[in-house]
Amino acid sequence: MFSQAEQELEWVRSRVAERFPVYETKVTEQAVQFLVNVDATTMEAKFDDLRTELVPKDYIPVLAKQGGEYSVIVQRRPPQRFVGTHVNVILLIATLVTTTIAGALNWGGYDDIDWATPEAFAKGSVFFTLPLLAILGIHEMGHYIVAKRYKVRTSLPFFLPAPVFPLGTFGAMISMRDPIPSRRALIDIGAAGPLLGLVTAIPITLAGLFLWQIDPRPVPPNPGGGLSINLPILYQLLAFFVPIPQDTVLHPTAFAGWVGLFVTALNLLPAGQLDGGHVARALLGDRQRYLSYGAILFMLFLALFFGYEGWFIIAIFILVLGARHPPPLNDLTPLDWRRYILGGLTASVLVLSFAAVPIVTIPPNAEVEFALPGAPEAPISQLNHTVAALSSTTLTFLAINAGNVSTFVNLTLSLVNFPDNLTVSFEAATIGGRSLPVGVGYVAFRFNSSEVANVTLRIDASAYVLGEPDWTFAVRAFVDGEFVPPETAELAVNLRVE
């Protein structure tokens, strides 16, 4: 009587021998190695046929060559337990929630309305959430469909929610539940997702650019501290056909297209088990590990010298999951010329879709400049004024918010060593025709970026007895912008009494 282990071994040997003549069998604790004769012209097809029979029964075959001998190495895989589709549904619902909030925030910023309104949620869902999830979903379904074609079991897409706005998601992924059978399958599965995602992202980007062009919205008055994006080459090429309106807010659909291109570039990095790692491993074999470590070092370089911490997080994530890509079961069959063209195409897409610093924060800047009426574009730091003795006069100047944040300004007078019979005081101040409360020695107000305050001083020399004709005083501005350290600005006035 044969033991169960012997029966299993004989069954596996018969499956292997049916495709490849076995001339020696070696049994170890970890695996069984069958030394076989192969026909190079039929090797790939026969091994794939063997794989499709063994893998569903939890036997994993590997085709190897060492010392001029071919072997089929078979290991027993413990029964696998996978999460049910209810997890996919739960994550999809959670992602719908977070991306819908992100869509409302994006539409609120674009339309300059409160994001927590039905209108913002409705339009944000249509113009941001749905396009973004379409790109991510079609990307992952590209992997899923091609994996099924190679009879590789895989999960449905897992959408990843994230309370990180204005995105609302970390993307999506699928789980390969069988090992990749060959280099050809590796490159086909790896490239299918990014290329299908790209094919989806391009028309969505063009649609977003068109919507942006026909309905441009001006940039809000205080962009400091907000977010800005850098456009990859491909986005700029698309904008050549639909020019981007200048000094306007990014349309949410155009932003969804940008996210699609960013996700494509991110997945095509030739590192670890990213999609680009799959493609690089298929093209370069085990030498891909050098490219993988190089890509990780490049990301760390971008994080350190360009200040985008996101690359640091991604590099650590790849290192934790493994920078080296495992080989496919059949790592011997070479790729055909079409797969090398496919590899070149994916490399080109990476270059065209990549941005070294995808998202940047606009540095907040609180700054006040002084100018004369009629010449607001010419800042001044001092001016000359003349007043007749025994009379009074007014002096009007402009205080301009030259920064990019809402700024609180307190204007005060510095009258050091000034004679008692020559007085200076604030008389009036307006912003856009709106009067501001004025004190004798100060005026305080808040104004937005690019707003201009007209400030009038009263200079009273009605009691002045002729003596020293030249005096100097200053208007000092204490500038306090939101999230910006306070600063001061000063306008010196050279006063002559005649």
pLDDT the model gives residue 442: 86
Whether residues 312 and 168 fall in one domain = yes
Among 326, 361, 396, identify where a domain stops: 361
Residue 2 reports pLDDT greater than 60:
no
- The number of domains in the chain is 3
Percent with pLDDT over 70 in the chain: 99
**At 45, which CATH number?**
3.90.1070
Closest CA to 161 of 219, 224, 225, 95: 95
- Domain with 100, as residue range(s), is 85-361
Q: What are the b/e assignments for 141-154, b being 16+ CB within 10 Å?
A: bbbbebbeebebeb
- What's the mean pLDDT in 244-271? 93
**What is the DSSP pairing of strand 382-387 with strand 487-497?**
parallel
pLDDT the model gives residue 3: 67
Maximum mean pLDDT: which of 214-223, 233-242, 305-314: 233-242
Residue 417 reports pLDDT greater than 90:
no
DSSP single-letter state for residue 181: -
- What's the mean pLDDT in 217-227? 86
Whether residues 248 and 318 fall in one domain = yes
Whether residues 115 and 156 fall in one domain = yes
Whether residues 297 and 210 fall in one domain = yes
Residue 483 reports pLDDT greater than 70:
no
Whether residues 378 and 251 fall in one domain = no
Whether residues 352 and 420 fall in one domain = no
User: Distance between CA atoms of 76 and 60, rounded to whole angstroms?
Assistant: 6
Whether residues 347 and 384 fall in one domain = no
Residue 131 reports pLDDT greater than 90:
yes
Q: Give residue-wise pLDDT tens across range 25-82.
A: 888 878 899 999 998 889 999 999 999 999 988 899 999 988 889 999 999 888 777 7
How far apart, in Å, are the Cα atoms of 331 and each of 70, 190, 203? 12, 16, 37
- What's the mean pLDDT in 126-133? 96
Among 57, 76, 95, identify where a domain stops: 76
pLDDT the model gives residue 1: 42
Closest CA to 268 of 205, 192, 201: 192
**At 403, which CATH number?**
2.60.40.10
**What is the DSSP pairing of strand 452-460 with strand 392-401?**
antiparallel
**What is the DSSP pairing of strand 452-460 with strand 442-447?**
unpaired
Whether residues 352 and 383 fall in one domain = no
Counting every residue written for the chain, the total comes to: 498
Whether residues 28 and 149 fall in one domain = no
pTM score? 0.86
Whether residues 113 and 210 fall in one domain = yes
Whether residues 281 and 429 fall in one domain = no
Query: Could you tell me which residues come within 8 angstroms of residue 47 by beta carbon, excluding any fewer than 6 positions away?
Result: 19, 20, 61, 63, 72, 181, 182, 329, 330
Among 336, 361, 386, identify where a domain stops: 361
**Predicted confidence band of residue 107 (pLDDT cuts 50, 70, 90):** very high
Whether residues 340 and 477 fall in one domain = no
